[in-house]
Amino acid sequence: MKGIELISTSVQETQRIAKRLARALKKDDCLALCGDFGSGKTTFVKGLVEGLKVAKKNYVCSPSFVILKIYSGRLPVYHFDLYRLSEVRDCQEIGLFDFVAGGGVSVIEWADKVKRFLPPDTVEVKFAICGAQKRRLRFLTKSPRLMRTIGKLL
């Protein structure tokens, strides 16, 4: 899998990166977000939904307690948070794999739990905390189209 690494020095920069990526996403694209608490996953999703023309990005928050939030925009956004799920069977029961092929963009926080079951062209985004505001975002994908798109973010 090829990778590209970006450094963000602020919440706003993380959101700008996601917003630029969102403009190139197509139906059935899947983003697998991995990283510790506070590493920027939900911040990234806020920028992503803005880039996908979701009306009110301020309503975006981590869906930890509801597992899935759906936002309407240029494409539907299926925002999952798998933190509370412990088994792949739980993901099947909530229809995760149906949504991934459901004609929108799937964004999965805590995707480490299911990444082996996701489509091969999934973009994995690994978040790392490098300081109070500084974050490292590492993008990995097998998709040549998405790798070109991510390369343009530099």
Neighbours of 56 (CB within 10 A): 9
H helices of 5-143, in order, are: 11-22, 41-51, 88-93, 96-100
pTM strictly above 0.75: yes
Which residue ranges make up each domain of the chain? 2-151
Adjacency order of strands within the sheet including 77-81 = 2-8, 135-141, 123-129, 30-34, 105-109, 77-81, 68-71
Q: What is the mean pLDDT of the chain?
A: 87
Decide if 145 contacts 29 (C-beta within 8 A).
Answer: no
Cα separation, 74 vs 87, in Å, equals 32
Per-residue pLDDT reduced to its tens digit, 31-68: 999 999 999 999 999 999 999 998 765 578 776 677 88
Residue showing tokens 């974050």: 135
Regarding the domain delimited by 2-151, which CATH topology (the fold level of the hierarchy) does it fall under?
Rossmann fold (3.40.50)
